[in-house]
Structure 1
């Protein structure tokens, strides 16, 4: 038995026949030292609500509760895992509730009481859309402490003129402050993935980093990075706007490429697009 009185995770996996499914993006983290490290990285969990996505057999779930999570809500779409999670519910009465469903379809802004925070080993196949969805909901969450593929983390914190800098970098840093915390090697998981994983902290900003409408920024970045090797005077044509006037108003060189622009410059283009439309 572990310190929480629950059986070891390998026994839980065997008991409920929880072989990880690639279609669900599952890679289970069984090392209690690492799940504890993630829980500690999430900070004080004794107030508000902690939300976990894809708990699987409950390794991180147990660490979060052991770390003092006052109210933990876990969202799991794999019905095979519900029995294992029910055992944790019993071991921590009144502190854990489980929602069976797809995290992409669940409105996490309505769960529990604030401050709300996300702490999760995100399924690889839905990590990016989940992060964008949460950030688009404004400063609803106090923090996101999530594990993603290292290449996704690289893009989240990407800087201009780097190979990792792209649309995800701009949208994330327009709405939040991302910070890489630590990497986890493939051997830490069952089964081992083919890539390194990274735990990253994302702190949503009270207001966007620069004045601009998010919808306009999304359109501009989609156009610019959709043809990232082309100059802006070419790539921005898909906006259906007067590109020459657009870049002039934003004070951006028409010969620049998307990867060369700062987030402030993308915001300036978004404002110019809005003004041109009005």
Structure 2
């Protein structure tokens, strides 16, 4: 790959020619869709911290990896589950700080400070949850489906608001960025994508672990009244519940992150977890 050819036309041409040369057909089951828009690469590089140890999940053809390992000063772990692409990566990436790993990144501990990924759509939620639980990672730069970003930044009381919204907002500050059309990737996905930055504001601890359980149980009854659901799920009486949630008619999906954390404290203090 030639840095001087980094425009959309040339990047698309390079991508398709490499796929033909190596007889690689992108696999839908792995959500393989490769970056062919230089803006995506620029946006990643403008948002990462070059001094941090870094993981890239789904290195693919090395389109981002090639620039990432050059830009980063510390170790970069490049995870790619598809052995066909790993052979290509080892030809393209020749930097002493790059470690190419042919494996599923979800099976490994993430003991680095930063994570980047043009995220495979099929494992987006798994990556977000593991990211929240991996305290070593202080920053993540991700390209996600636009509707997933909408869920992460949605407000209480809206259709997109749910468990993953509460979890991610409890431990990260979220900064949404540019939206990309399907043509920014090859093969083009069916929906638009968006880049976001997650910056850790809190470690995952026993309280956040309990928050996951509380939201799992409450959001299974998302449109019911909070008072009723907490009574059914944890045996809390109305007086105790209204001491922290005064509105008796409030529905589960109308609770904000602070409300959920207060419920977690209540459940923990009453030994109901």
Same fold by TM-score, threshold 0.5 exceeded? yes
Structure 1 window deviating more from structure 2 (231-240 vs 74-83): it is: 231-240
What corresponds to 1:99 in structure 2? 101
Counterpart for residue 150 of structure 1: 146
Aligned equivalent of 2:45, options 39, 43, 47: 39
Shift of 1:52: 0.3
Using the alignment, how far apart are the partners of 1:230 and 1:207 within structure 2?
31
1:71 partnered with 2:68: no
Whole-angstrom distance in 2 between the partners of 1:4 and 1:88? 16
Partner of 1:2: 2
- How far apart are residue 241 of structure 1 and its match? 2.4
Conserved 8 A contact 1:143-1:204: yes
Tell me how far 1:76 sits from its aligned partner. Answer: 0.8
**Are 1:17 and 2:15 matched, yes or no?**
no
Stretches of structure 2 lacking an aligned partner (at least 5 in a row):
none
RMSD, aligned α-carbons: 2.4
SS in 1 for 2:99: strand
Partner of 1:186: 182
Q: 1:238 to 1:62 in 2, by over 3 A?
A: farther
What whole-Å deviation, never above 9, does each CA across 1:7-43 have from its counterpart, x for those lacking one?
Answer: 933332222222211101111112234222222222x
Could you give the per-residue CA deviations for residues 121-156 of structure 1, whole angstroms, max 9, x where no partner exists? 011011111111111223x21210001111111111
Partner Cα distance (1:10, 1:64) in 2 = 21
Distance in 2 of aligned mates of 1:207 and 1:215: 11
Counterpart of 2:116 in structure 1 is 119
The one of 196, 200, 218 aligned to 1:200: 196
1:182–1:11: structure 2 CA closer, same or farther, 3 Å change rule? same
Q: Is the 8 A contact 2:110 2:134 kept in 1?
A: no
Q: Is the 8 A contact 2:234 2:267 kept in 1?
A: no
Normalising by structure 2, we get a TM-score of 0.88
Structure 1 residues 218 and 34: CA distance shift in structure 2, 3 A: closer
- The Cα shift of 1:207 comes to 4.8
Name structure 1 gaps, 5 residues minimum: none
Partner of 2:132: 135
User: What is the TM-score of this pair, normalised by structure 1?
Assistant: 0.87
Please report how far the alpha carbon of residue 269 of structure 1 lies from its aligned counterpart in structure 2 after TM superposition.
0.6
Distance 1:19 1:183 in 2: 26
CA distance in 2, matches of 1:206, 1:228: 26
| Match status 1:266 vs 2:260 | yes
| Separation (CA, whole Å) in 2 of partners of 1:212 and 1:74 | 30
